[in-house]
């Protein structure tokens, strides 16, 4: 690399760090073999070097905040603009972007929400987890779904030993608050409403270009959770039933189990047999 190109690369690296990571970087001298260029930025008649740099820093942070607002519109609505912007500033400081693509930038918002001194922080964390699941399925690869007829040639023992691969554009969420209802109300009318406690399971998936959310009852949700963990069908069923309360176990009958599998296959949860 020529000396001029090396100096340019060093300057670009310094400027990227100064914009993206910390104001303190602006005070660092730029290491370069060109001794005539000791100052990273030159002031002009209107603005100092640091004031010019702040314009770029502010624009960069604003773009990241816009990205988070795009990923978490219901969370922004629920917290209010000012509180959400404060949350974004904290997020950008704690989890700086590490990739040229911003698709995965907001992936840790639920983690941050759970650590905040916010009223109902756990509830907001669950809402963030729901919205991030929607983002993930939007970007996930689609694939042909496995119909229930794919197993008609298998004996019960063979079906019980089968492992099923879940669709990539699919997420299963177990929630302690009715955040899915809140998200629906937000999407339909931009409404605000209290989010009560409610133990629910929400399936988030994309079919073709459409994102879908389905509320699952306990048994199919537990079966799906075990199957997505790559357990054989029979083992997954045993684990799901064992996770039920004693009263729920007494209510589980063969037709209920069959209905649970029919629902999961009808929703297109699986793509192939492993």
Closest CA to 54 of 16, 94, 18: 18
Token look-up 């969370």 returns 75
91 shares its domain with 208: no
The two tokens of residue 121 are 């922080």
In a domain, 257, yes or no: yes
pLDDT by residue for the chain (274 residues), tens only, comes to 566 666 777 766 666 666 666 544 444 544 444 433 345 667 777 777 676 677 677 788 889 999 999 999 999 999 999 999 999 999 999 998 888 888 999 999 999 999 988 888 999 999 999 999 999 999 999 888 998 888 888 899 999 999 999 999 999 999 999 999 999 999 998 877 789 999 999 999 999 889 999 999 999 999 999 999 999 999 999 999 999 888 777 777 778 999 999 999 999 999 998 8
128 with 69: CB under 8 angstroms?
A: no
Residue 109 · residue 72 · CB < 8 Å: yes
State whether 239 and 132 are in the same domain. no
175 and 270 both lie in a single domain? yes
Whether 223 maps to a domain, the answer reads yes
Last residue within a domain, chosen from 139, 157, 192:
139
Contacts of 227 (CB under 8 A, 6+ apart): 163, 164, 166, 233, 236, 264, 269, 270
Give the tens place of pLDDT for each residue, 196-213.
999 999 999 999 889 999
Does residue 163 share a domain with residue 132? Answer: no
Q: Is 90 contained in some domain?
A: yes
* Residue where one domain finishes, among candidates 113, 139, 165: 139
List the domain range (segments joined by +) for residue 64: 59-139
| Cα-based torsion angle of the residue sequence 138, 141, 147, 150 in order, rounded to the nearest 10 degrees | -160
> Given 89, 109, 139, which residue is the final one in a domain?
139
CB neighbour burial string for 135-155, b if at least 16 within 10 angstroms, e if fewer: bbbeeeeeeebbeeeebeeee
Chain centre to alpha carbon of residue 158: 36
Q: What percent of the chain has pLDDT over 90?
A: 59
In a domain, 222, yes or no: yes
């Amino acid at each position: 690399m020529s000396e001029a190109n090396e100096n340019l690369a060093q300057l670009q690296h310094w400027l990227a760090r100064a914009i993206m990571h910390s104001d303190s970087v602006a005070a660092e001298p730029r290491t370069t073999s060109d001794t005539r260029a000791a100052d990273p930025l030159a002031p002009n008649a209107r603005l100092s070097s640091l004031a010019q740099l702040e314009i770029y820093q502010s624009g960069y942070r604003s773009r990241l905040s816009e990205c988070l607002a795009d990923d978490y519109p219901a969370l922004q609505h629920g917290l209010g603009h000012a509180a959400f912007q404060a949350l974004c500033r904290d997020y950008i400081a704690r989890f700086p972007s590490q990739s040229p693509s911003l698709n995965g930038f907001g992936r840790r918002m639920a983690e941050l929400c759970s650590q905040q001194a916010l009223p109902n922080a756990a509830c907001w964390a669950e809402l963030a987890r729901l919205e991030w699941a929607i983002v993930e399925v939007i970007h996930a690869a689609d694939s042909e779904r496995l119909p229930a007829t794919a197993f008609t040639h298998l004996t019960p023992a063979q079906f019980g030993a089968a492992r099923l691969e879940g669709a990539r554009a699919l997420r299963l969420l177990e929630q302690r608050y009715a955040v899915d209802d809140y998200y629906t109300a937000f999407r339909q009318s931009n409404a605000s409403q209290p989010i009560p406690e409610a133990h629910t399971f929400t399936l988030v998936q994309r079919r073709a270009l459409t994102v879908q959310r389905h509320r699952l009852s306990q048994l199919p949700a537990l079966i799906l959770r075990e199957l997505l963990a790559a357990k054989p069908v029979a083992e997954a069923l045993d684990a799901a039933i064992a996770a039920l309360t004693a009263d729920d176990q007494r209510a589980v009958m063969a037709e209920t189990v069959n209905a649970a599998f029919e629902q999961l296959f009808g929703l297109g949860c699986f793509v192939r047999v492993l």
